[in-house]
Amino acid sequence: MDSILELQRVTAGYKSIKGFKSLIKRVEIVLRDISFTVEKGERVAIIGESGSGKTTILRVILGLLKPISGKVLIYGKDLYSLPSDQKLQILRRIGYVPQDPYRSLNPVLKIKYIVGEPLEAVGVEWRHIEERASEVLKIVGLPQSIINDTAEELSGGMRQRVLIARAIIAEPEILVLDEPTSALDVSIQAQIINLLNSIYNTFKVTMITVTHDLGVAQYLADRLIILKSGKIVEEGSVDEVLRNPKSEYTKSLITSYLQITGINSLNNIKIRG
Amino acid sequence: MPVSLNYIFKRIILSILVVIGVIVFSYILLLYTPGDPAVKWAGNPRGPEARKAIEMARRELGLDQPIHVQIAQFIYHVFTGNLGLSIAYKVPVSQVITSGFTATLELLVFAYLLAVPLGLWLGIYSALRRGSRFDSFIQSLSVVLASMPTFWLGAIIALISYSTTGFLPYGRVSYKLAASTGFNPITGFYLLDALIQGNYAVFLDALLRIIPPALAISVYPIGVVARVSRTLVAEALLEDYVRTAVAWGVRRNTIIKHFVLKSIIPPVIQISGLAFVYSIVDAMVVESLVFGREGLGSILLDSLHKADFRVTIALAIYLTIFYILVNTIVDIIQASIDPRVKI
Amino acid sequence: MVLAVRAGGISIGYIDEEEEYIVWAVRGVDLAIEEGDAFCLVGESGSGKTTFASAIAGILPPHAVTRGKLYIFDRLAIDESTWNFNGLRGRVVSYIPQNPGTSLSPFLTVEDHFYYVLRDTLRYDREKSRKAAMEALLKVGLDRGVLEDYPHELSGGMQQRVLIAIALASNAKIIVADEPTSAIDANLRASVLQLLGRLNREYRVTLLLVTHDLASTSIVCNRLAVMLAGKIVETGRTISVLRNPQHPYTKMLLDCVPLLGVKKPLKPLPGEPIQVVEDKAICPFRERCPRAIDKCVEEPPLKPVGDEENHYVKCWRLTGVESG
C-alpha cells in the first residue's frame, strides 16, 4: 500500500522563555515520540481532549511547526528537509478546514475571494477561479447567489460549507479537518458529516480528522488514533477500538459518550423520569 | 507579580541600546549644524590671536579627536552624568538640565493627575449612558479637546487668568515670598518641597501659578482618555463575564468597579503613558512661550540661541532616556496588573 | 405543587436598530416548570431557546422587547413590556453560562467572584463568603485551592465547575444553564450533566437546561420542551418524548445524533433553521417537513398525545387532520 503521510518518531513542542537564569530558550514538549502512517485513501481520526497535542500534530502535518526530532514524510518526502519551494508544492496537495467557522472567515471578503484564494495563490486566472468557485459551491450545497456576498450573514453551517469549498477547490489529495463540527448544532453537524463523506467518496481523497468527539470520529473515519498528553495510547480500526478498547483512557471516553447519548440503547440505560 | 526580573532586565538592556543609538545620532547631527562651538567657547575671539584661541578651545572641548573617540567619550560621560560645563553658563550641564527638568516634570505630573481621573470618569460615565445627550456632548467635546492646539489654548487661558481679570500670579513661584519664608527647594518639585517643609504660603503661591499651564496641558489627555475609556467600557459591558455577573445578582456599582474598571485600567495606563510623553513637547512650548515659567522649554531655546551644544545634546539625550523610562514603566505596570500576562 | 416558572403567552423580540422592525425570537410561549423539576429546552440555534432562558435569568439585553407575562415563584418578572428582576437575580434565579472561558473575569480570582456575588446577594462578608465558597466547591467536586487561582489558570472543565459552584453558592432556587456543555470536550460533558442532575436531586434546585443536543437531555432532565422558531412544538416527560417522539421535527433531531457503535447513516435535517420575522401563524417546520400537508399553512394547536400524561405536540398530522 502507498503511505501518503508518515510521522516517524516525531517529538515537537514550543519555545518558551522562563526564569531569570536562562536567557536561553527552553522548549515545552507537547508531542512525544509520535509515529503513525496514513495510507492513500484512508479515513483517519486523531482523538484527543484539549491539551492532548492534537492541534500540535496538525501544525506539524501542515508544515507550520518543525519537529524537534523525527521526520514527517508526505509522499515519501521529508517535509522539513525540502527546499521551501518543494515544501510548498507538497503542502498545496493538502486541503485544510480550520476549526471555528465563526472566526476563520474574513467578514469583509466576498465569498468568491475566500473560496478562490488557494487557486489565486498559484496564479490561476480570475475567470477560471470564479468558474471553479461556483463549481465547488455547488458540490458543498451552497447557492450560487452567495458568491458575491460576504460571510457575515451566513449561518454556522453555511460558513463551514464555505470553508470546505475553499479546502477542496485546488483538488487536494489529502483533506485535513480540525474539529469540523464542534461549533455547530447537532442537526447541522449531521449535514456536515454527510457532506464530508460524500466528498470523500466522490474525490477519493485521504481524510484526516482531528476531534475530541468520538461520535463524530466514528462517522468520519475508519481508523482511530487516540492521543493523551502528547502520546498515542491506542490505535486501531473504529470497530476494534469501540468494541474492544485496550487502554483505560479509551474506555473512559466511550463510557462518557454512551452516558451522554443514553438513548441509543434505551432498554439498557436507565432514564430518569 | 506576574512580571519576572528577567523581563525587566531585558527591557533595561534594550533601553540602553536605544539610548546609545540616540546619542550617536544626535552627536553626529549636531556636528553638522551651523555655528562652531569652539568659537563660542573661546569667547568669539577676533584679531591675530583668534586662530590660536579657537584651536585651544577645540582641544579643550575634545573636538580635535577622531569622531569615534569623541562619541565614545561622550557616551561614557552621559552614563556617568558628567557632561562637562555648559558653554554658555560655565556651570555643569547636569545642573542646568536638572533644574529645568524638575520644573517641567512637576507641571506635567500635576496636569496628568488632574486629567487622567477626570477623563476616565467622563469616559465611564458617558459609556454608561450611551446615546444620551450627555454622551453625545462628551463624545464631541473629547474630539475638540484632543485636537485643540495646546499653545493656542494656553494663550487663551493666559489671557483670561492674567490680563483680563488678572487674578492669578504669573511664572513658577514668587521668589520674594520664597526668600522671605525661607523656602528651600530640595527635590526641585516646588509643590512637594513646600508641603514637606510645611510652607503653606509658598505651596499656595506655587499652586496658583501651576494651575493655568496645567489646565492647558491637561486638555489633550482629558480628551484622549475620555474617548478611549468610553470605547473600552462599552466593549467591556458586552463581555460574557459582565452578563454572567448580572445574572448572578452582582450589583451595578460592583460590576463597574470590579469587573469593568479592572479590565480597562491596563489599556488606559498605556494610552496615558503615550499621551504623557507626547505632552512633554506641549509642556516645553507652553511653559516658556506662554506662561513664562523656567523649564526644559526655556533651557532648550536658550541653548540653541547660544550654540550651547553640550546642553542641547544633553537635553535630547536625557529626554530620550525619559521617554524610554516612561514607556518601560508603563509596560511593566500594565503587565503586572494583568494576571494573564506572564513575562 | 408550586410552579417555579410560569410563562403566559410570552413573546420576546429584538429591535433591529437600523430598519426599525422587531425580530421575534420567542413567540407566544406558554410554559410551566414545577419546583424541583429538571426541565430541558431543546432547539437549534435561532429557535429562541437562549432568549427564553435569558428572560428567566433576567439578562435580556436592553434592546429586547417583550409581551405577555412571566412569573417566577408568583413574582411577576415580566408584565407585558415592563421588567422587574430586582431581588430575583442571584437570590431566586441563578445562571450557568455557555462559554466557561469567557464567563469569568480574567482580572479577578475565583474567590473574588464568589465574594462579589455573595456580598451583593446575601450581604456576606469576606470570611462568610469564603466559607460558602468552599462549601459550594465541595459540592461540584473541586478543591478549595482553586479559590486563589485566576480563571486562566484553570482548565475548561474546572472553569465550568467553578461557574456551577458560584451559581449554587447564593442558594438560588432556580438555576438556568445555557448550553453548559457545548464549549467543553466531549469526554467532560457527561460528568458536567451528571453533576447538574445530582444538584437538582440532592439540593432540590429547579434546573432549566438549554441545549441543542436532544439526546443529552436524558441523563439530567425529567421534562423537556422542543422549541422551533420561537414556539414549543413538543413537550412532555423526557422518557415519553424520547421513547415516543411525535413531532416530525423531534424525530429528526433524534435521528441526526451520532450514536456510538451503532452503524446507521445519519439523517440530517434538511435546510437551515429558519428565522421568522413576520408574525404569521404557520407551522414553522412546514418547509423542512417530509410529511407536510396543505393544512400546515395554518398554525397547529398544542394538543395532548394519547393518554401520556403531560405530553403535548403541535402538529396537524397528529391531531386528527390526516387527510390531504
Please judge whether A18 and B9 are an interchain contact, meaning their C-beta atoms are less than 8 angstroms apart. Answer: no
Residue among C93, C253, C60, C276 at smallest CA distance from C167: C93
- Cβ neighbors of B66 (< 8 A, separation 6 or more) are none
In angstroms, what separates the C-alpha of B6 from chain A's closest C-alpha?
5
Taking any CB pair shorter than 8 Å as contact, residues of chain A touching chain B are 17-20, 23
Q: Which pLDDT score, from 0 to 100, does residue A73 have? A: 93
* B295 phi/psi in degrees, rounded to 5: 170, -165
Tell me whether C226 touches chain A (CB under 8 Å): no
pLDDT in tens, A230-273: 999 999 999 899 888 999 999 888 888 887 775 444 334 333 33
Chain A residues near residue B10 by CB distance under 8 angstroms? 23
Element (H, E) at A65: none
Average of per-residue pLDDT values in chain C: 87
Say which of C45, C185, C218 has its CB closest to residue A271. C218
Minimum mean pLDDT range among A144-153, C108-117, C199-208: A144-153
Average of per-residue pLDDT values in chain B: 84
Please judge whether B339 and C105 are an interchain contact, meaning their C-beta atoms are less than 8 angstroms apart. Answer: no
Q: Which pLDDT score, from 0 to 100, does residue A267 have? A: 37
Q: Which pLDDT score, from 0 to 100, does residue B164 have? A: 61
Could you give the CA distance from residue A207 to residue A197 in angstroms, rounded to a whole number?
9
- Cβ neighbors of B264 (< 8 A, separation 6 or more) are B229, B232, B233, B236
Q: Which pLDDT score, from 0 to 100, does residue C277 have? A: 52
Best mutation target among B132, B248, B337 (most C Cβ atoms within 10 Å) is B248
In angstroms, what separates the C-alpha of B242 from chain A's closest C-alpha?
22
The DSSP output letter for A212 is: S
Could you give the CA distance from residue B303 to residue B97 in angstroms, rounded to a whole number?
11
- Cβ neighbors of B183 (< 8 A, separation 6 or more) are B173, B177, B193, B194, B197, B199, B202
Q: Which pLDDT score, from 0 to 100, does residue A232 have? A: 94
Please judge whether B338 and C163 are an interchain contact, meaning their C-beta atoms are less than 8 angstroms apart. Answer: no
Please judge whether C105 and B249 are an interchain contact, meaning their C-beta atoms are less than 8 angstroms apart. Answer: no
Question: Which domains are assigned to chain C?
Answer: 3-92+172-318 (3.40.50.300)
List the domain boundaries for chain B.
Answer: 1-88+306-343, 97-296
Tell me whether C274 touches chain A (CB under 8 Å): no
Query: Would you place residue C13 in the very low, low, confident or very high pLDDT band (cuts 50, 70, 90)?
Result: very high
Please judge whether A18 and B4 are an interchain contact, meaning their C-beta atoms are less than 8 angstroms apart. Answer: yes
Chain A residues near residue B5 by CB distance under 8 angstroms? 20
Higher per-residue pLDDT: C53 or A15: C53
Tell me whether C86 touches chain A (CB under 8 Å): no
Say which of A155, A194, A261 has its CB closest to residue C268. A194
Complex confidence, ipTM: 0.89
Considering only CA atoms, give the Rg of chain B: 24
* C179 phi/psi in degrees, rounded to 5: 45, 55
Residue appearing with cell numbers 560655565: B90
- Whether residue C57 is predicted with pLDDT greater than 50 in this model: the reply is yes
Q: Exposed, middle or buried, B254 (CB in 10 Å: 0-12/13-18/19+)?
A: middle
3-class secondary-structure state, position A102? coil
* B212 phi/psi in degrees, rounded to 5: -60, -50
Q: Which CATH number fits domain B97-296: 1.10.287, 1.10.3210, 1.20.140, 1.10.3720?
A: 1.10.3720
Say which of B244, B263, B338 has its CB closest to residue C103. B244
Q: Which pLDDT score, from 0 to 100, does residue A163 have? A: 94
Can you tell me the mean pLDDT for C40-60? 92
- Whether residue C25 is predicted with pLDDT greater than 70 in this model: the reply is yes
Could you give the CA distance from residue C166 to residue C116 in angstroms, rounded to a whole number?
10
Chain B residues near residue C58 by CB distance under 8 angstroms? 246-247
Q: Which pLDDT score, from 0 to 100, does residue A22 have? A: 45
Helices assigned H by DSSP within chain A = 54-61, 84-91, 111-121, 126-139, 156-168, 186-203, 214-220, 238-243, 248-260
Chain B residues near residue C163 by CB distance under 8 angstroms? 244
In angstroms, what separates the C-alpha of A144 from chain B's closest C-alpha?
35
| Closest-CA residue of chain C to B262 | C107
CB C69 within 8 A of CB C77: no
Helices assigned H by DSSP within A181-247 = 186-203, 214-220, 238-243
Please judge whether C186 and A257 are an interchain contact, meaning their C-beta atoms are less than 8 angstroms apart. Answer: yes
CB C314 within 8 A of CB C225: no
Residue among C72, C1, C61, C36 at smallest CA distance from C223: C36
* C44 phi/psi in degrees, rounded to 5: -80, 175
SS3 content of chain A, % helix, strand, coil (to 5): 40, 25, 35
Per the structure block, which three cell numbers stand in for B322?
525619559
DSSP string, A255-270: HHHHHHTGGGGTTTS-
| Closest-CA residue of chain A to C262 | A264
Best mutation target among A55, A187, A194, A268 (most C Cβ atoms within 10 Å) is A187
Tell me whether C263 touches chain A (CB under 8 Å): no
Q: Which pLDDT score, from 0 to 100, does residue A272 have? A: 34
| Bridge partners of residue C24, in order along the sequence | C13
Question: Which domains are assigned to chain A?
Answer: 3-265 (3.40.50.300)
Which amino acid, C23?
V
- 3-state SS, chain C, equals CCEEEEEEEEEEEEECCCCCCEEEEEEEEEEEEECCCEEEEECCCCCCHHHHHHHHHCCCCCCEEEEEEEEECCEEEEECCEECCCCCECCCEEEECCCCCCCCCCCCCHHHHHHHHHHHHHCCCHHHHHHHHHHHHHHCCCCHHHHHCCHHHCCHHHHHHHHHHHHHHCCCCEEEEECCCCCCCHHHHHHHHHHHHHHHHHHCCEEEEEECCHHHHHHCCCEEEEEECCEEEEEEEHHHHHHCCCCHHHHHHHHCCCCCCCCCCCCCCCCCCCCCCCCCCCCCCHHHCCCCCHHHHCCCCCEECCCCCCCEECCHHHCCCCCC
Say which of C185, C215, C239 has its CB closest to residue A261. C215
Per the structure block, which three cell numbers stand in for A97?
478546514
**In terms of DSSP bridges, do strands C223-228 and C231-237 run parallel, antiparallel, or are they unpaired?**
antiparallel
Could you give the CA distance from residue A52 to residue A56 in angstroms, rounded to a whole number?
9
CB C42 within 8 A of CB C36: no
pLDDT in tens, B99-153: 888 889 999 999 999 999 999 999 999 999 888 888 899 888 888 888 888 888 8
Chain B residues near residue A17 by CB distance under 8 angstroms? 6
| Closest-CA residue of chain A to C43 | A185
In angstroms, what separates the C-alpha of A22 from chain B's closest C-alpha?
9
Low-confidence residues of chain B: pLDDT under 50: 1
Per the structure block, which three cell numbers stand in for B58?
577645540
Share of chain C above pLDDT 90, in %: 49
Chain B residues near residue A24 by CB distance under 8 angstroms? none
CB A59 within 8 A of CB A65: yes
| Closest-CA residue of chain B to A19 | B6
Tell me whether B12 touches chain A (CB under 8 Å): no
Please judge whether B244 and C95 are an interchain contact, meaning their C-beta atoms are less than 8 angstroms apart. Answer: yes
Chain B residues near residue A16 by CB distance under 8 angstroms? none
Could you give the CA distance from residue B104 to residue B93 in angstroms, rounded to a whole number?
17
Per-residue pLDDT of chain A (273 residues; tens, 9 = 90+): 578 999 999 999 887 655 444 445 567 889 999 999 999 999 999 999 888 888 899 999 999 999 999 999 999 899 999 998 999 999 999 999 998 888 888 888 899 999 999 998 888 888 899 999 999 999 999 998 888 888 888 888 899 999 999 999 999 999 999 999 888 888 888 899 999 999 999 999 999 999 998 889 999 999 999 999 999 999 999 989 988 899 999 988 888 888 777 544 433 433 333
In angstroms, what separates the C-alpha of B255 from chain C's closest C-alpha?
9
| Dihedral class, residue A223 (left if φ above 0, else alpha if ψ from -120 to 50, else beta) | beta
Say which of C112, C150, C170 has its CB closest to residue B248. C170
Chain C residues near residue B128 by CB distance under 8 angstroms? none
Can you tell me the mean pLDDT for C299-323? 74
pLDDT in tens, C252-296: 888 888 877 776 777 777 777 666 555 567 787 877 787 788 888
Per the structure block, which three cell numbers stand in for C113?
467572584
The full length of chain B comes to 343
Best mutation target among B1, B3, B4, B6 (most A Cβ atoms within 10 Å) is B6
Q: Which pLDDT score, from 0 to 100, does residue B170 have? A: 72
Considering only CA atoms, give the Rg of chain C: 20
CA dihedral C266, C270, C271, C274 (to 10 degrees): -110
| Dihedral class, residue B90 (left if φ above 0, else alpha if ψ from -120 to 50, else beta) | left
